[in-house]
Structure 1
């Protein structure tokens, strides 16, 4: 369900479209960007030091393109990531570390095959002569022994990408096309590789900024996540109308700047959204839209942080929207899903207040009413049982429903 800023209330394809001002889909598609972001997996913390082994990261792209570039990042390390070698190729299946013959390329950084990434910094490879289509699996094999491991850990049971393989032998195994040097697939675990760009006929990227609901936590059955469903729908459009989708979800993330409710170390769940907005969203090439779905962890609270008041959540969302607009992008807001808070409780009142503000404030260029899509018609404080994994998270059926519910006109695209 989606709301746009229009002067009247209209019923369109079963969704309610609300509000005033300019329509989110009013601007025509821009010409193809020199480069857009075709996939992302935001890093969340640093966990240990890498052994004398190679990690083969696997990410799935959401748009076609050529001249691939990969970003390696060291946002959390207390020392440099000294990269000795990076190989980039294509994998026919994410279930196997074997690569498509002839696809593996030795990456360079300003012409050099090594790079030192300082704490807080990132490095893009030079363009690589690799062509991809939507759904292709890109492997990024990194050899950086002794480096702080800046990672993303995508909680199982998600069995598809992103994920990685770790070599079982010492040394640089990046050129191993057969994959025999690597162990079993590690669902959701990525080291250092957080974005891939390409020169693409798609006219930009949607970045989904969120928490575990966007990250895909417990979308049982191996996905697809709702962001993957959205990408599949967009890729069914004519080539000139397409956008890439880059998933910047991190499980446990908060939309406001506060202590993380689940982890006093600050390494489990990424920095709060305002603190990671530049790295995970605004710094990426080709961004046109941001889709914000956050607030559950702020409102829910936990052992290390109390439930946040509505004003704190709203102020954080307003600040993020203002920064996105200043950067020249549009922002789409999604309402907070039911959380099993008792009707009339402080937390439920906070959630309802935040959602009312999202729907009516005019802060967002469009609104997706995810709350209305998944709530139980007989008890709006919970997700409808067939679509629910637990109190906070949809299951795979819920993710599918969310992805299919999105009105594509929120992104200037044709159709519901």
Structure 2
């Protein structure tokens, strides 16, 4: 059941508050399963060689009894995973693990598992404990498997990424890191989520495109989602939420051909088609934060710019499905895109943003457009906060993360 009340306005943050502010819980919540991190997979790119891939993901909360999820959403054939090891990594600069932290994962208490096309599988709980910011290394040996991956450039700090073994065979048990080659930032194979038993009261899933993924967040800082996670972590344990980043660069919020890639392999399925896998299937979801639509409205060589009505209809559908699943959804306005004032693209962006702010479709809204736009020219992001016409730099991401009023998440 959802409860509605009259929204208030907080002008300083460009934020509209509505009933999510009423969703506060006590600090005495019992530990339960939440999602500590996610990296939404995009497509299949080839077949795995006879090598071990050590995936590194950074968690956004405290937890024990870790479980890892491996997925084969796009493979045309089943994939057989022969071995998985999970350990703690002190630095993303090295494949070495904390001595004694590496654990062999099991699936249904078996060391190997076969994942059918379109399916995912969670490991059995592992005797590992983590805190926000810890790096978890998931070493997977699956030679011959279709490579379901996430391969867009990440931000500069605390980057998700991977190491491939320098030679053949299963080297997942190696804690020294000597069996592995150089770090590949932004490249993850098969491992797409980590969950744990946590005192946190739930998970925020950020559903979006490259602005959420962290693309071009240059300048030596974390993504806005990581800024948000760090701010939430200052709350008492039972008042915290974890953050799962389901951003995919180039993704669209509406079901349409991808504007940039006629093969459909670069940018993941449109948001409505991946909503179940990347959002609703995750443990502990309480809130979804939707920031998407730039790629639809901008268009490209493979698809024309989408009209405002198409983007609005997609957002309304997503919000309805999130509510039907018993969760709350927060809508963020679309950032400036360097489209000339009065142009069709800019008029469409303004129309979508006005609908986000006023329609009542979302439980709360975040005015990211107002937070970053240049007061002298609202069709662009402020010069000091942008990497290019579409993407904030690290300073812009910091502004976005700091602009979020935590009351929209009941904090």
TM bucket, shorter chain: over 0.9
| Pair 1:296-2:294 in alignment | yes
| Pair 1:7-2:3 in alignment | no
| Pair 1:158-2:156 in alignment | yes
1:157 positional shift: 5.6
Q: Distance in 1 between matches of 2:14 and 2:265?
A: 39
1:33 positional shift: 5.2
Q: Distance in 1 between matches of 2:111 and 2:6?
A: 56
Q: Distance in 1 between matches of 2:143 and 2:207?
A: 31
Residue pairs, 1:220-239, within 5 angstroms? 220-239=218-237
In the alignment, what sits opposite 2:21? 25
Q: Distance in 1 between matches of 2:306 and 2:24?
A: 39
1:150-186 Cα deviation digits (max 9, x unpaired): 0001315635321100000100010000000101111
1:23 positional shift: 2.1
In the alignment, what sits opposite 1:72? 70
In the alignment, what sits opposite 1:216? 214
1:221 positional shift: 3.2
In the alignment, what sits opposite 2:197? 199
Decide whether aligned partners of structure 1 residues 252 and 10 sit closer, same or farther in structure 2, where only a CA change above 3 A counts: closer
Q: Distance in 2 between matches of 1:174 and 1:222?
A: 31
Structure 2 portions without partners, runs of 5+: none
Q: Distance in 1 between matches of 2:95 and 2:112?
A: 23
| Pair 1:357-2:359 in alignment | no
Structure 1 portions without partners, runs of 5+: none
Decide whether aligned partners of structure 1 residues 7 and 111 sit closer, same or farther in structure 2, where only a CA change above 3 A counts: closer
Q: Distance in 2 between matches of 1:272 and 1:222?
A: 30
In the alignment, what sits opposite 1:307? 305
Secondary structure in 1 matching 2:257 = coil
Q: Distance in 2 between matches of 1:183 and 1:128?
A: 26
In the alignment, what sits opposite 1:94? 92
Q: Given that residues 32 and 199 in structure 2 are in contact (C-alpha distance below 8 angstroms), is that contact kept between their aligned partners in structure 1?
A: no
Query: Please, what is the CA RMSD of the aligned residues?
Result: 1.5
Decide whether aligned partners of structure 1 residues 344 and 263 sit closer, same or farther in structure 2, where only a CA change above 3 A counts: same
Decide whether aligned partners of structure 1 residues 108 and 222 sit closer, same or farther in structure 2, where only a CA change above 3 A counts: farther
Secondary structure in 2 matching 1:185 = strand
Q: Given that residues 160 and 222 in structure 1 are in contact (C-alpha distance below 8 angstroms), is that contact kept between their aligned partners in structure 2?
A: no
Q: Distance in 2 between matches of 1:53 and 1:161?
A: 22
| Pair 1:170-2:160 in alignment | no
Please report the TM-score for the alignment, with normalisation by the length of structure 2: 0.97
Q: Given that residues 54 and 144 in structure 1 are in contact (C-alpha distance below 8 angstroms), is that contact kept between their aligned partners in structure 2?
A: yes
Please report the TM-score for the alignment, with normalisation by the length of structure 1: 0.95
1:108-161 Cα deviation digits (max 9, x unpaired): 000100000111001100000001111110000000001100000131563532
Secondary structure in 2 matching 1:347 = helix
